Structures are given as C-alpha cells and as structure tokens.
Amino acid sequence: MTMTHLEMADRSDVFVPHAFEEHQVDLGEIRLNYVSTGDQDLPPLLLVPGQSASWWSYERALPLLSARFRCFAVDLRGQGRSTWTPGRYTVDNFGNDLVRFIDLVIGRPTVVSGHSSGGVISAWLSAYAKPGQIVASVWEDAPIFASELNPATGQSIRQGVGPLFALWNKWLGDQWTIGDVGGLMKAMRFDGPAWLPVALQHMFPPVKGDAPPAGVPQNLREYDPEWGRAFVSGFATASSDHATLLEHVKVPVLLTHHFRQLEETTGTIIGALSDLQARRAQQLVEAAGQPFTYRSFPTMPHSMHEHDPELFAATITEWHSKLGS
C-alpha cells in the first residue's frame, strides 16, 4: 500500500479521550491538532512536544502554566492527531508548520517552549520564524548538536538515543507498516546496545502515579516511526545544521539540561546533550547578541514537564518574569 498523507480519521481507533478539548487547523499541507487554555489576555506560550510525544504530555503542566500564559499545546506532523506525511519529516517543515500556526491561530508575539526534538524546533523558531513572531524560546533538555548525524560539536545521534529510534522504526515500520510489537520488545531487551537499558531507566522512567503501560504505550501508538528513521539517517536535520541555526538566534533563550552521563567505553552520551554541547550552544547564542539562561537539573528525567510539572512551570515563569518587556 502506497501512503501519502494519513489523517486523523485514518487512525481513529488509536486515540483516547483527554481533559482538554482538541481542535484542528488547516495549514495547507497538513491539519495540525492542538489544545488551548488560559485567559486570552495573557501572553501566549506555544508548547512543542518531543519525538514520540503528543500534546497531552503537557496535560499536567497546562493548569499550572495557564495561570501566567495563554497556552497552546500542539501535535507535530507525524504525531498525535495531526496529519502524517511520509517523506516529509524535517526540522524545516516542523518549524514552518508552527510559523503558519502562530499566524493563523495565535496571532500575537509568542513565547515558545519545546521539549527534546521539540526543543530543537523551538531553537529553529528562535532563529528562522517571521520577524516578531517569537519573543523568547525555551529549550527543555533539547538535543542541540546531539540530534544531528554529523554535528559540529560533540556526540552525534548515533552516540545518543538514535539506536532507540532505529529500533522503533525497524520493528514497527514507517506508518506502522510492520507493527511487530513482540519483535520490538525482544529487541529492546536483547538486541539493543548495552547502555540502552541504563538510558531508558534514567531518561524515561514511568511518570509518578502512572501504572506501567500494558503493551505499546499510548504515546508510541500515536507516533509515525518514520520520524525515527528521519533523524537517525540525518534526513530530518540535513538542511538545518545547528551551528548555523544558533548563530541566527534572535531572542532570549532558556536551556534546561537534565540527566546526562558519558558511557566511558564508547563515548556515548546517556542523556539529551553533553555539557560540552550545552556550553557551545551558549557561546554561539551569546555571540549572536542574545541572553542565554542555563539551568542544570542533573537528576531530572528527560521530560521535566511530565515528571515535575510544578518545577517546570515555576522555572519558565521565573525566567519569563525577569525578561521584562
């Protein structure tokens, strides 16, 4: 079966209900799914999930953030209820989708906060969005440099979480065309690199209060595994190298840096990015004339907004309040 675009209706049996009402906006190539909450007069905050996550990864943080912001949480193309677009998963396309979203839905200068791959997209927006669209940018444990195939600084995606994405794609297939869940579970235990279980334990522990999922987690069911192949192959980042991107940042930045550890025998980074990569990002952003706030949380799992939404909301709110006008 040849697949071009897959819409929400094609996957309607996958989804589960949530506490916020979901909406879709037609951006031309795709329909993008989102939720919004908070007073209309508050400054807008755009929340961008990471790879394999849907908007509802922010479900616990939204009530806290909406006391300070008019919040918009989105599903990127290829994730959640947004359109799946085989062959079109690039950072440039993700970023331009959100440029259109800000124009059509938010309509005002916006703070953007992205997690993981979404943090890379937040960085892209801070450099390449339309003039005046973005006023400040949060990079929550974003793999700056570390999600590239051939980065200018430090470890590549091959020495990070890339092997996990490759396993997802191998056993589930683009658009779930293989769907060998049993093979994936076996490969996760026996065929992955030796350091992978350590990375999973520290970076992706169960969210407090959640029972361990039976079978495939809901977030992975809503995800097109071609995303993983696009990043591991270098396709997703080929036209947007991070060093150049950082040199073009035009707004103040907050980087939160979570658990990281070097695996000594291989040089692998267990975590989103290394200390070296974080320092180099700061150097390039400051050389571009922009304030850069670095906050280290060395025991925090990869997703602060899920594992400690109170700290996540407080960190963003405190930083934003110090930016002034």
The pLDDT of residue 207 is: 82
Q: Which stretches in the chain have pLDDT values below 70?
A: 1-3, 209, 211-214, 325
Tokens describing residue 206: 């169960």
The pLDDT of residue 2 is: 41
Edge-to-edge strand ranges of the sheet holding 292-296: 23-26, 31-37, 70-74, 44-48, 110-115, 134-140, 253-257, 292-296
The pLDDT of residue 205 is: 85
User: Distance between CA atoms of 97 and 42, rounded to whole angstroms?
Assistant: 23
The pLDDT of residue 211 is: 64
The pLDDT of residue 8 is: 83
The pLDDT of residue 285 is: 98
Q: Which domains are seen in the chain, by residue range? A: 8-321 (3.40.50.1820)
- Which burial class, exposed, middle or buried, applies to 16 when counting CB atoms under 10 A from its CB (0-12, 13-18, 19+)? exposed
The pLDDT of residue 291 is: 97
Nearest to 126 by CA among 303, 254, 294: 254
User: Distance between CA atoms of 110 and 198, rounded to whole angstroms?
Assistant: 37
The pLDDT of residue 191 is: 74
The pLDDT of residue 266 is: 84
What is the value of pTM for the model shown?
A: 0.95
